[in-house]
Amino acid sequence: MATLPPVRIGLLGLGTVGGGTVTVLRRNALLIAARAGRTIEVACASARTLDKPRSVDLRGITLHADPQAVVDDPTIDIVVELIGGIEPARGLVLRALANGKHVVTANKALIALHGNEIFAAAQARGLMVAFEAAVAGGIPVIKVMREGFAGNDIQWLAGIINGTCNFILSAMSDEGGDFDEVLAEAQRLGYAEADPSFDVDGIDAAHKLMILASLGFGIPLQFAKVHVEGIRRVSREDVAFAARLGYRIKHLGIARRQAQGIELRVHPAFVPARAPLANVNGVMNGVMVRGDAAGPVLLSGAGAGAEPTASSVVADLVDVVRALTSDPGNRVPHLAFQPDTLENQPILDIADTETAYYVRLHVADEPGVLADVTRILADLGISIEAIMQLDSADDAPMVPVVILTHVVKERAMNAAIARIEALPAVRAPLNRIRVEPLA
């Protein structure tokens, strides 16, 4: 049998992941070719600064300042988009598809916000768009969701899918620091950006959750419907109380199928200390998926970094190369379900979801205050699992109180909090964190 020519790759971006991709492809070239059935070579790449010193070996790779030169190169078979952000990435990906090129991307924002458009363009041309590296770095969660769970009715999934948030919450737990102190440490170590908003406010995790939920439940991508909360309001007190109560605080992305619709929510949560996800710490990521046949399955590993993310990029390249000669109709669908079977199932408003709650409040140290608080909860049908009034300094005018509730609809909890905060003896605002047993 004649030897097939190498598959030629064009890289858009030579940053951390781009450099890691070149390194992995070169170092493991023979192994990758044996698995893919053909040699994969990086023929060209684009970078904003061409003469920047780089640690990666770029011999034999043509460099372009203009990424369109890569996309329009007629000799390129697969374009790998590693620029990030929405534009120009979106335009370049659509142009690559229009030029008949398959695409591999690590861009979670692009897929979460514009994946429906991109996948439709790819399907119309019989092309593939692979995006394993867009979620959880080196963890092959996309492949597991698309293929490993193909025989399962997925009931729920929950993930620690932002390493910055997980590092901060882990350090607050282990070192007892405040959010601002630990954030500064994360920035010094390179785990958080100078402007950390994208991470600590939950946007990055929400992009990833939307992708996972679409794969799990066969729904179109609809990022605007994800409820998003970050971790800025989690305090040293909350972390300490969580430990006393047998929990750890984790920033979770949760998608769950209910009879009325699908929950899509990103927020901090109390997780039982013995739960597998509670023990995914530092910058690591973890995703737990529960299928009706497989039961709960935990995937954990490095959620970012040059080579872990490059591992997923290269895995996508191997998948695309294997499928180059296959009938497009027989390939694994982009979002796990055949495109004509995706359903616009209802997405539940956060007020209609049900969880237990941790509530921390400060009240005046005077008789009757706790009775007023518990009466409000009782009036709204909220059952209390535990309540603690904690010691404070003798001269402190306010004392901390912690309440754990049983499962309740969020709409009722919102009403209770509004009424409690209106009490003269309560210092507003309260802090509340959902409790997730992950069972």
Q: What is the CATH number of the domain that holds 169?
A: 3.30.360.10
CATH of the domain at 70: 3.40.50.720
Q: Which pLDDT score, from 0 to 100, does residue 356 have?
A: 98
What is the rounded average pLDDT of the residues 276-282?
A: 96
Asked if residue 407 has pLDDT above 50, the reply is yes
**Do the domain assignments include residue 30?**
yes
Phi and psi of 207, rounded to 5°? -55, -45
Q: In what order do the strands lie in the sheet with 102-105?
A: 62-64, 40-46, 7-12, 78-81, 102-105, 129-130
**Do the domain assignments include residue 116?**
yes
332 vs 113: which has the higher pLDDT: 113
Q: Which pLDDT score, from 0 to 100, does residue 90 have?
A: 98
Residues 291 and 355 in one domain: no
What is the rounded average pLDDT of the residues 202-208?
A: 98
Asked if residue 391 has pLDDT above 70, the reply is no
Which residues are marked as active site? 208
* Strand partners of residue 387: 403
CA distance 35 to 131: 19
Which residue type does 342 have?
Answer: L
Q: Which pLDDT score, from 0 to 100, does residue 384 have?
A: 96
* Strand partners of residue 93: none
Asked if residue 280 has pLDDT above 80, the reply is yes
Instruction: Give me the DSSP letters along 126-146.
Output: T--EE-GGGSSTTS-HHHIII
**Do the domain assignments include residue 41?**
yes
**Do the domain assignments include residue 175?**
yes
Residues 47 and 175 in one domain: no
Q: What is the pLDDT confidence band of residue 365, given thresholds at 50, 70 and 90?
A: confident
Tell me the average pLDDT of the chain.
94
Q: Which pLDDT score, from 0 to 100, does residue 304 have?
A: 86
Q: Scanning the structure block, which residue is given the tokens 């593939």? A: 128
Q: What is the pLDDT confidence band of residue 378, given thresholds at 50, 70 and 90?
A: very high
**Do the domain assignments include residue 258?**
yes
* Strand partners of residue 12: 46, 81
For helices 236-244 and 163-175, what crossing angle results, to 10°? 70
**Do the domain assignments include residue 170?**
yes
What domain range is 29 assigned to? Answer: 7-138+307-341
pLDDT tens by residue, 98-149: 999 999 999 999 999 999 999 999 999 999 999 999 999 899 999 999 999 9
pLDDT tens by residue, 207-264: 999 999 999 999 999 999 999 999 999 999 999 999 999 999 999 999 999 999 999 9
Residues 179 and 134 in one domain: no
Q: Which pLDDT score, from 0 to 100, does residue 47 have?
A: 94
**Do the domain assignments include residue 346?**
no
Residues 160 and 111 in one domain: no
CA distance 236 to 233: 10
Residues 247 and 321 in one domain: no
In contact, 423 and 369? CB cutoff 8 Å: yes
Residues 157 and 270 in one domain: yes
* Phi-psi label, residue 352: left if phi above 0, alpha if psi -120 to 50, beta otherwise: alpha
In contact, 435 and 358? CB cutoff 8 Å: yes
Residues 296 and 203 in one domain: yes
pLDDT tens by residue, 299-311: 999 988 899 999 9
Quick count: other Cβ atoms within 10 Å of Cβ 180?
A: 10
Asked which of 272, 302, 332 is the last residue of a domain, the reply is 302
CA distance 104 to 121: 14
Residues 419 and 389 in one domain: yes
Q: Which pLDDT score, from 0 to 100, does residue 409 have?
A: 97
What DSSP character marks residue 148? I
What share of the chain has pLDDT > 70, as a percent?
98
- From residue 77, alpha-carbon distances to 12, 40, 80, 93, 297 in Å are 13, 10, 10, 13, 36
Residues 266 and 375 in one domain: no
Q: Which pLDDT score, from 0 to 100, does residue 50 have?
A: 86
CATH of the domain at 425: 3.30.70.260
Whether the bond between 88 and the residue before it is cis, its omega within 30 degrees of 0, is yes
Domains of the chain: total: 3
Residues 333 and 359 in one domain: no
Residues 153 and 284 in one domain: yes
Q: Which pLDDT score, from 0 to 100, does residue 380 have?
A: 96
**Do the domain assignments include residue 2?**
no
Quick count: other Cβ atoms within 10 Å of Cβ 73?
A: 18
Asked which of 240, 273, 302 is the last residue of a domain, the reply is 302
Q: What is the pLDDT confidence band of residue 4, given thresholds at 50, 70 and 90?
A: confident
The three-state secondary structure class of 43 is strand
Residues 225 and 173 in one domain: yes
Instruction: Give me the DSSP letters along 253-310.
Output: EEEEEETTEEEEEEEEEEEETTSGGGG--TTEEEEEEEETTTEEEEEEEE-SSHHHHH
Whether the bond between 429 and the residue before it is cis, its omega within 30 degrees of 0, is yes
Quick count: other Cβ atoms within 10 Å of Cβ 342?
A: 19
Least confident piece of the model among 59-63, 309-313, 343-347, 388-392:
388-392
Asked if residue 392 has pLDDT above 80, the reply is no
Question: Which tokens hold the place of 356?
Answer: 């237990």
CA distance 313 to 337: 22
Question: How large is the greatest C-alpha to C-alpha distance in the chain, in angstroms?
Answer: 89
CA distance 401 to 360: 6
- Rounded to 5°, the CA angle 422-247-176 comes to 85
Q: Which pLDDT score, from 0 to 100, does residue 1 have?
A: 37
Question: Which tokens hold the place of 72?
Answer: 């329009």
